[in-house]
Amino acid sequence: MSEKIYIFDTTLRDGEQAPGFSMNIDEKLRLATQIAKLNVDVIEAGFPIASDGDFEAVREVSKAIKGGPVIAGLCRVKKKDIDRAWEALQHAEKGRIHTFVATSDIHMEYKLKKTKEEVLQSAVEAVQYARTLTDDVEFSTEDAARSDIDFLCKIVEAVIDAGAGTVNIPDTVGYAIPSEFGATIKHIMENVPNVNQARISVHCHNDLGLSVANSLSAIQNGARQVECTINGIGERAGNASLEEIVMSIKTRKDCLKHYTTINTEEIYKASKLLSSITGVYVQPNKAIVGENAFAHEAGIHQDGVLKERRTYEIMTPESIGLSKSSLVLGKHSGRHAFSNRLKELGFDLNPDELEKAFTRFKKLADMKKEIFDEDLETIVQDEISSIPETFKLIYVQTTSGSQTVPTATVKMERDNEIFEDAAIGDGPVDASYQAIDRITKMPGKLISYGIRSVTGGKDALGDVVVKVDFNGEVVIGSGASTDIIEASAKAYLNAVNKIAYRKKK
């Protein structure tokens, strides 16, 4: 039977604790508002006893978020912690006290310096006291994945009897593997007599890269709440990623057989807002929200997506709030994607023109990581011309420096005959033009020279425009390349070819 999986977002608490992700109160409020738009079930707004700032953040989020998620505050199993948390939650329409204590042998011996019996007693007393303040109490067994399973079951049973409505089983240090963690949840579900009186939750860390897998395994074995963060941020290697959990459940209903009530179309906005607030951006290949998650560069993939998106997309970009997927044009792209993009830009080329432009595109793609629309427009305007190439540039090579005479060697083709010459000049561009003049025997006088970057980045395509006077006849030439000397030579040669074509006519 399909059951709801509750989404507990701890971006503002566990996520914010990670180095480099701290937020001020205003930033937390902005993010909390967006998280509420996701329609999460619980927002853990902070750890009120930790600092005055955390207390204020929980209080302000409690005031601001109405009519939606439960607002939770974290606290240790200490009365002063619980009081501070409840004080911060006073303005919440729905407030939850979330208290915890470590249950693994290593934590109890070295951190708490308490026996199992003392830990059990403090857990029960904390839950009982919290229940005098609110009916919504959650209890967490910190480092559950490394805890003795019999003791874990004992403490889960005890805190449920004490009034905990949610019991969280965390893999605090990301130690578990999916089969092991799933078995732990299954054991709890089968061996805790009163387990049906509470909702079992999980909170998995990503130290071995298994937080999402462990969370999904827990769901398959009875957990009905998952604690996670936007972009998977959190202590050390982070937490289970909210977007990956939610989209896994939505995409693989056939095997997970459950649902969430998350408004998935707000996922991308939430991811981007978090990145802009913290200045920490997700890696391009990050699942769901990474820059490349819905981008295709391989020609075979692009061809498939253009014919039927489901060939290479298991979910739609629209489902997370993106307008469409992206066909990234690069060296792996094929003619289908290239032609499709040119048509989108308004260019309708015949087969010969398309082949010529595609050849130039491939050469440029070997030099640039990504080809932008502006690059394509320049390629078409530069390569697809009604002016035939009387002279065709094969290569230009220059040497220059503060103590070197600028020299250029140019190789060109005319009527299937190869010409090569060299010249010196005031600079590498001037030397290139002098060498071209020696080959063409059509010297021109440079009137103006301009260059601009077509796109951004170190590998940007440079577009050169020149105005050249050939014995009183002024011609404009243009050329483009990632190498400005080559672009300059092509622009000058384009002007030469225009004069040659006029004379031929």
Q: Which DSSP string corresponds to 456-490?
A: SSTTPPEEEEEEEEETTEEEEEEEEESSHHHHHHH
Residues 189 and 274 both lie in one domain: yes
Residues 212 and 301 both lie in one domain: no
Residues 410 and 378 both lie in one domain: no
Residues 121 and 250 both lie in one domain: yes
Backbone φ and ψ for 160, nearest 5 degrees, come out as -65, -45
Helix (H, G, I), strand (E, B) or coil at 348: coil
Length of the chain: 505
Helix (H, G, I), strand (E, B) or coil at 266: helix
Residue 234 domain-assigned (yes or no): yes
Query: Smallest Cα–Cα separation from 225: which of 2, 9, 72, 7?
Result: 7
C-alpha distances in Å from residue 430, one per residue of 471, 490, 498: 19, 13, 20
pLDDT at 324 over 70: no
Backbone φ and ψ for 281, nearest 5 degrees, come out as -100, 150
Query: Smallest Cα–Cα separation from 49: which of 35, 63, 59?
Result: 59
Residues 47 and 187 both lie in one domain: yes
Residues 181 and 61 both lie in one domain: yes
Average pLDDT over residues 33-38: 96
Helix (H, G, I), strand (E, B) or coil at 452: strand
Give 242's Cβ-side CA count (13 Å radius): 35
Please, which pLDDT band fits residue 341 given cuts at 50, 70 and 90?
Answer: confident
| 455 vs 139, higher pLDDT | 139
Give 161's Cβ-side CA count (13 Å radius): 13
Residue 352 domain-assigned (yes or no): yes
Q: Given 383, 410, 440, which residue is the final one in a domain?
A: 383
Characterise 451 by phi-psi region: left (phi > 0), alpha (psi -120 to 50), beta (else).
beta
Token couple for 245? 């959990």
pLDDT at 135 over 60: yes
Helix (H, G, I), strand (E, B) or coil at 242: helix
End-to-end CA distance of the chain: 81
Q: Which domain holds residue 361?
A: 295-383
Residues 227 and 369 both lie in one domain: no
The span from the CA of 412 to the CA of 342, in Å, is: 29
> For position 467, which CATH number holds?
3.30.160.270
C-alpha distances in Å from residue 152, one per residue of 21, 128, 155, 187, 401: 32, 19, 5, 10, 73
E-only strand ranges, 188-285: 199-204, 225-228
Q: Is the dihedral of CA 189, 195, 201, 205 positive or negative?
A: negative
pLDDT at 57 over 80: yes
Q: Given 326, 352, 383, which residue is the final one in a domain?
A: 383
Residues 270 and 419 both lie in one domain: no
Residues 67 and 213 both lie in one domain: yes
Contact 408, 434 (CB under 8 A): yes
Residue type, 119: V
Residues 401 and 448 both lie in one domain: yes
Strand partners, 139: 99, 167
Kindly give the interhelix angle for 149-162 and 116-131, rounded to the nearest 10 degrees. 20
Identify the pLDDT of residue 62: 98
Residue 477 domain-assigned (yes or no): yes
| 297 vs 475, higher pLDDT | 475
Residue 360 domain-assigned (yes or no): yes
Identify the pLDDT of residue 370: 62
Residue position matching structure tokens 């997309």: 313
Q: Where are the alpha helices (DSSP H) in 308-395?
A: 335-344, 351-365, 373-383
Mean pLDDT (the chain) is 89
- Of the spans 281-285, 380-384, 390-394, 495-499, which averages the highest pLDDT? 390-394
Domain count across the chain: 3
Residue 285 domain-assigned (yes or no): no
Residues 251 and 108 both lie in one domain: yes
Residues 431 and 348 both lie in one domain: no
Q: Where are the alpha helices (DSSP H) in 137-241?
A: 149-162, 178-191, 211-220
Residue 303 domain-assigned (yes or no): yes
Query: Smallest Cα–Cα separation from 7: which of 54, 39, 49, 47?
Result: 39
Contact 392, 419 (CB under 8 A): no
Q: Is the dihedral of CA 142, 79, 8, 156 positive or negative?
A: positive
The span from the CA of 155 to the CA of 223, in Å, is: 17
State which H helix or E strand residue 139 sits in: strand 137-142
Characterise 276 by phi-psi region: left (phi > 0), alpha (psi -120 to 50), beta (else).
alpha
**pLDDT tens digits, 269-278:** 899 889 878 8
> For position 163, which CATH number holds?
3.20.20.70
Residue type, 139: F
Rounded to the nearest 5 percent, the helix, strand and coil shares of the chain are 45, 25, 30
Identify the pLDDT of residue 349: 75
Q: Given 226, 251, 278, which residue is the final one in a domain?
A: 278
The span from the CA of 362 to the CA of 359, in Å, is: 5
Residue 406 domain-assigned (yes or no): yes
Kind of pairing, strands 473-481 and 462-470? antiparallel
Residue 288 domain-assigned (yes or no): no
**pLDDT tens digits, 155-211:** 999 999 999 999 999 999 999 999 999 999 999 999 999 999 999 999 999 999 999
pLDDT at 330 over 70: no
**Residue 451 CB: number of other CB atoms within 10 A?**
16
pLDDT at 347 over 70: no
- Choice among 268-282, 338-352, 408-422, 485-499 with the minimum mean pLDDT: 338-352
Contact 490, 433 (CB under 8 A): no
